[in-house]
Amino acid sequence: MKKLLLTVIPLIVFNLSGQAQFINSLSIYPANPSSNDSIYLIGSCYFQSGTCNQKTLNYSIINETIDCDALHCIGMLTYICYDEDTFAIGQLPPGNYTYRYFVNAGFGINPCTPGIVPGPSDSLNFTVTSVSGIDDITYNEFIVGPNPCSDFIEIKCYSNEEKKISIIDMTGKICSQETQTGNHLRINTNDISTGIYLLQLQAKSTIYKSKLFYKN
């Protein structure tokens, strides 16, 4: 009687599904852009596998819809990886826009191949306004410096009348405001964070405005 010899080959199943990815938030800088501003669209995301900082970013603009795609190359380490994607869009004409953010994950070195299952997406609507009729500071009457500034700004002017000086952030919040008299004014800027601000000077019924760049 012959014996039947059976060879058992184990079946190994590989999990080829992609690692999960999630969107935390969407934002735009500056928060209330005008047609003169350079616009940045920002997407915050995280993954259940690290690292995720190697990535490819692309965007396209069709009419008033801006599609931003982020492909992150993640590793096999089992820790949550957070990252932020910034898309430099530049200046846009006035109008109402939709920012759509798409996130995908892939394995290997950059550029990597995305998984089979598409990642999440989210959208944010924003408006680009036209430039107001108020001009930047008239340098015949005011000289402002240094700009960019770090610890202080100085304003030299030809009149001694009282002036209200305001530093306003891109959301419209007044970060600093004081009144001074004279033709050589000095404003402390230690209490504001790095960023782009609006410097506003009001003398009697006249208002002058200019962009102010602050860095620590």
pLDDT value, residue 151: 83
Q: Per CATH, which fold does 142-214 belong to?
A: Immunoglobulin-like (2.60.40)
The tens digit of pLDDT for each residue in 134-144 reads 444 444 467 77
Calculate the CA 79 to chain-centre distance.
26
Percent of the residues in the chain that have a pLDDT greater than 90, as a whole number = 18
User: What are the residue boundaries of the structural domains of the chain, listed by start?
Assistant: 21-128, 142-214
Q: How confident is the model at residue 126 (pLDDT cuts 50, 70, 90)?
A: very high
pLDDT at 101 over 90: yes
What pLDDT was estimated at residue 11?
A: 39
Bigger pLDDT: 203 or 180? 180
What DSSP character marks residue 205? T
Give CA separation, 10 vs 5, 7, 13, 147, in Å. 16, 10, 10, 70
Percentage of the chain lying above the pLDDT 70 cut: 83
Average pLDDT over residues 39-49: 88
pLDDT at position 148 over 80: no
In the chain, which residue ranges form alpha helices assigned H by DSSP?
Answer: none
Binned at pLDDT 50, 70 and 90, residue 216 comes out as low
Residue 92 has pLDDT above 90, yes or no: no
pLDDT at residue 116, as a whole number: 77
Range 149-168 average pLDDT:
81
Cis peptide bond upstream of 118, omega within 30: no
